Structure 1
Amino acid sequence: KQALKVFDGLGDKRRYAISLGTIGIVYWMEHEIDSAIFYSEKALGIFEMINNDDGISSALFSLGRDYFEKGDFQLAESYYLQSLKVSKKTNSQKRITETYEALAKMYNKTDQNNKAYAYHVKYTVLKDSLLNEENNRQIAEMKARYELEKKDKQLNVLSQKNQVQKKSISRYNYLLVSILLIASLIAVITILLVRQSRLKTRHQTTELRQKLLRSQMNPHFIFNTLFSIQTYMLENDARSASHFLSKFAKLMRHILENSKHEFVTLENEIEFLNEYLFIQQLRFNESFKYKVVFNEGEEASQIMIPPMLSQAFVENAIDHGIRNIEREGFVKVRFSIKGENLIVTIKDNGVGFHHKKPGQHELKNHKSTGVENTRQRIQILANEHKSGHLFEIKDLSQEMPSKPGTIVTFAIPLIYA
């Protein structure tokens, strides 16, 4: 009955019906005939539903035997004959033999001697035939076993001969395998050394390229800043000039210190940008405002960034964006984290790089050395860390002419200290 629950839960109707029939047989053996009939009928119904002829034949035979035990010989005969019909259809010789025997006993019990004799003869003939088949099968098995043992002996003889031959060439094989292993090991070591050498060379090349780019950037920035200080000193009083020089000296110390390092903290970079923008603001008589923001400020001291990475774009925003506009200018530098990247955005409300005035060139045709070097630094950094590359310059006046300006956006790998 536990099996019934399992097969019912699995939806296995065939095994469920077999279990019902088995329970019926148990009740028949315990002479609880009504229960035996109940389970055999349920099994028959399911076998008929799934068109399982072997199951139908078995259930019909069980019902015939149940009703014979109960004394209802008419129903017993009916179920036996139905079982016999289905068994002949499936050619189940064992079931046919059992049914012949059962019919012979039933007809003998009901004094139908002719039918009893006829089915007993059929039972005897078929039983002898099956017995002969079983004997023939056993003889065939014994013959096959004998042939198999004979072949095994032959194989053992051949195996012994092979062992003798293997021993004669084993030393040669061991030597050959050893040579191959040593050669393979040498090849692997060579490949690893060559690969390591190439990686080291590639890293050194990348580092040298970045150092070269930084060395190109510093003179470019210093030249423009000194020119700004010179202009300011010629146009302002001594006190203001002294204040300007003090701020510039602090900025120069910042630049010289940062130039020694491949990476500085984002906190350091933000401080540098504020100093640089402050000097530029003084240079242009505070004709523009600026702002440097980082939303995740508490992490600024932990994030590493190449020094002066955004300075060239800030310089372009001032010199080629807001320098010649009549309204108050504005420059905003924004750092933000997105996934595994640090996003840098430089936005101004200047003329936009598609705007052109006499004596000016469009930004797309005026790629300063600083901007181009920075773009290359971003590309090298992305290649070194195998990250996605984002670099975009967008003219805001193309979308809204009443609010011109330029926005530069690029991404670098997020590197923590």
Structure 2
Amino acid sequence: MLKLKPYLFILGWLLSSLFIQAQVPVVKTDSWAQTKKAGKGQISVLWYAIEPFIYFDKGEIVGIEYELMQGFAPYLKKTYGVDVAINWVNAGAFEPIYPAIRDSKEKGLFAVSYYSITDERKKEVKFAPAYMPDLNILVTSNNLPVYDSPEEFYNRLPALAGYTMAQTTMEEDMNYFKKRSPKLKISNRLDDYEVINEVAATDNAFGYVPLSIYVLALQRGTKVKRQKILATRREGLAAIYTSASDWDEAVNAYFNSETCRQLTASLIRKHLGVEVADIILEVSAPDSSRRPTADIELLTKEREIVTRRLIDTALQYQRSQSIRNITIIAVLIFIIISIVLFKMLTTKRKLARLLVQRNQEIISQKQEIEKINRRLQQKLSVSQLNPHLIFNSLTAIQHFVMLDDKKMANKYLSQLGKFIRYILQNANEPLISAAEESKMLEQYLNLEQARFENSFQYKIALQGEGGLIPSMLTFPFVEEALYERVLAGEAANGRRSLNITFTEQPGAVCISIQDNSLAQKKMDNGNAVRLAEEQIAAINKGQVDKIGINRRCSSGLSQVDILIPNTVLL
């Protein structure tokens, strides 16, 4: 098993290398020699977002390192007359970038992600000239004091928790503390902002971050303490490229040029702010070139940032209080208005319900009045018919008495009594059956046959049950057919006849009154018919399905059809 350990180590290293390479896309680039010969070429730049060096702003890549590398192509065009295209490749994470540059054989592959220049890294990759000083500072959570000496901080290490970013110089600085205190727990985070936010959120925590990251986080309101001890300075921050690259000539020429220095100064001021940028550059500079007051100026600027943050917080709190008060007042007004509107709506709905109820009562009363009116009109029609019948019947009795025909007079009186009794019995019934109506007509026609000495014949047929019909509705039409047609002229084919048929149809009752008279008198000029039509008009009022009358008149055949729907209500 002991002999296998070296092989397992080599296998693990190979798998790790393959995993790292799998995270970075394979790119094709041109060498500087090819570019100069062809007059054009392409390089690729690996990057990972970290503000203010390179990051997204409104969907576009910006930052000190991005804009600095973007100035590389115009410089080469102006100085060497070559066109260089820069292909930006987002690595997605910080860790795989350095191994990808270290292990790549591409001559035109670069990387920017605020890399610190160290002697160990110089053995594996190439560095462009530094564009910015490199200073890592020690930050602690707010519950810890400001330490006056490294020894005081070292003594506290066992009780602290450390945070750092893997494969960075900050990790190297943290490992120094791990050697002094082996029990110290150090956790990795994705980037420097996560490190400083973790320190701010956790008691008894500390970590290393670049000075520029610290100042930006402080401006955003992150609450940590900068310790004045144990800061680490290195040669500077620079772009890296592969050890196999032949772009040294172009890289050194550009980054050492006055054009690059001016561009770098403007970019640092652009992304860090003029006052903050000057202080950071001064504090980060080597001890030999740093002014004695630089640390004091940084401390003053920190206090200004904190004071401004407190003022902004107070103003924001005051604005939030004002907004809260306005919101409370607005909500109260809204509630009051809602209550008033709810009361109004409730009252309106209550009034609407009362109005609907009153309308229903009015409609019901109107329907009842119309119903009573129809019944009164029906009774009026019947009452106007009765005197006419009685007068004709008395005349007939007088005729039989004058002829001394006592038998016929008694028979006629008996039939007249039955007929009057029938009319009185049904006078208060708005609807009667077709069978009852046919009996009434039969009694009436028997009286008329006796009166006119059987000068005509009649037939009453009932097909089906007949349904319900308004009382005495058919009488005026039968009387009209008898007096104005049958008795007024000769018959078309022999004896004068009158046929009445009650037929039950789907949803209605049809009454047909047919005669064979040759008389041509109009069928709708009689007073009885006019009263009947007024009665029908009164019944039809307010009905969906109405009573219909159809007249057909020709020599030798006259017919009146009355269609009464079953839905007729009285």
Contact kept in structure 2, 1:347 and 1:406, CA below 8 Å: yes
Letter aligned with residue 476 of structure 2: A
Distance 1:240 1:222, change over 3 A: same
The answer on 1:172 being equivalent to 2:324 is no
| Partner SS for 1:264 | strand
The answer on 1:307 being equivalent to 2:468 is no
Alignment partner of 1:405 out of 531, 553, 557:
557
Distance 1:388 1:415, change over 3 A: closer
Q: Tell me, in whole angstroms, the C-alpha distance in 1 between the residues paired with 2:440 and 2:56.
A: 98
Distance 1:246 1:163, change over 3 A: same
1:247-293 deviation line (CA, Å, top 9, x unaligned): 11011000001112222222211211111112112221112121222
Question: Which residue does 1:50 correspond to in 2?
Answer: none
Contact kept in structure 2, 1:248 and 1:279, CA below 8 Å: yes
1:274-324 deviation line (CA, Å, top 9, x unaligned): 111121122211121212222113xx4xx3221111001111111111113
Distance 1:209 1:414, change over 3 A: closer
Distance 1:376 1:334, change over 3 A: same
Question: Which residue does 1:373 correspond to in 2?
Answer: 531
Q: Which segment drifts farther, 203-212 or 306-315?
A: 203-212
Q: Tell me, in whole angstroms, the C-alpha distance in 2 between the residues paired with 1:181 and 1:162.
A: 27
Alignment partner of 2:485 out of 321, 337, 350:
321
Distance 1:292 1:137, change over 3 A: farther
Q: Tell me, in whole angstroms, the C-alpha distance in 2 between the residues paired with 1:182 and 1:167.
A: 22
Alignment partner of 1:234 out of 388, 392, 399:
399
**Per-residue deviation, 1:139:** 9.4
Question: Which residue does 1:338 correspond to in 2?
Answer: 505
| Partner SS for 1:384 | coil
1:222-265 deviation line (CA, Å, top 9, x unaligned): 42354245225424511111111111101100000111222222
Q: Tell me, in whole angstroms, the C-alpha distance in 2 between the residues paired with 1:262 and 1:142.
A: 95
1:325-346 deviation line (CA, Å, top 9, x unaligned): 3441111112223342222221
Q: Tell me, in whole angstroms, the C-alpha distance in 2 between the residues paired with 1:318 and 1:238.
A: 26
Q: Tell me, in whole angstroms, the C-alpha distance in 1 between the residues paired with 2:323 and 2:392.
A: 98
| Partner SS for 2:453 | coil
Q: Tell me, in whole angstroms, the C-alpha distance in 2 between the residues paired with 1:251 and 1:273.
A: 9
| Partner SS for 1:309 | coil
Question: Which structure's relative contact order is higher, taking Cα pairs within 8 Å and 6+ residues apart?
Answer: 2
Question: Which residue does 2:439 correspond to in 1?
Answer: 271
**Per-residue deviation, 1:380:** 2.4
Q: Tell me, in whole angstroms, the C-alpha distance in 2 between the residues paired with 1:351 and 1:224.
A: 26
**Per-residue deviation, 1:161:** 6.1
Contact kept in structure 2, 1:381 and 1:412, CA below 8 Å: no
Letter aligned with residue 203 of structure 1: E
Within a 5 Å distance, the mapping from 1:128-139 to structure 2 comes to: none
Distance 1:207 1:412, change over 3 A: farther
Q: Which runs of 5+ in 1 are unaligned?
A: 1-124, 129-135, 144-156, 357-361, 398-403
Letter aligned with residue 385 of structure 1: Q
Distance 1:197 1:374, change over 3 A: same
Q: TM-score, normalised by structure 2?
A: 0.40
| Partner SS for 2:541 | helix
Distance 1:283 1:139, change over 3 A: same
Distance 1:285 1:137, change over 3 A: farther
Q: TM-score, normalised by structure 1?
A: 0.54
The answer on 1:382 being equivalent to 2:540 is yes
Distance 1:330 1:165, change over 3 A: same
Contact kept in structure 2, 1:317 and 1:350, CA below 8 Å: no
Question: Which residue does 2:451 correspond to in 1?
Answer: 283
Contact kept in structure 2, 1:213 and 1:373, CA below 8 Å: no
Instruction: Return the structure number with greater helix share.
Output: 1
Q: Which runs of 5+ in 2 are unaligned?
A: 1-41, 46-54, 63-321
1:97-118 deviation line (CA, Å, top 9, x unaligned): xxxxxxxxxxxxxxxxxxxxxx
Structure 1 vs Structure 2 CA RMSD:
3.9
Contact kept in structure 2, 1:382 and 1:389, CA below 8 Å: yes
Q: Tell me, in whole angstroms, the C-alpha distance in 1 between the residues paired with 2:336 and 2:61.
A: 44
Distance 1:378 1:198, change over 3 A: same
Contact kept in structure 2, 1:229 and 1:283, CA below 8 Å: no
Q: Tell me, in whole angstroms, the C-alpha distance in 1 between the residues paired with 2:345 and 2:488.
A: 76
Letter aligned with residue 263 of structure 1: L
Question: Which residue does 1:214 correspond to in 2?
Answer: 379
1:343-393 deviation line (CA, Å, top 9, x unaligned): 2221111234xx25xxxxx444x321x211211222222233321442222
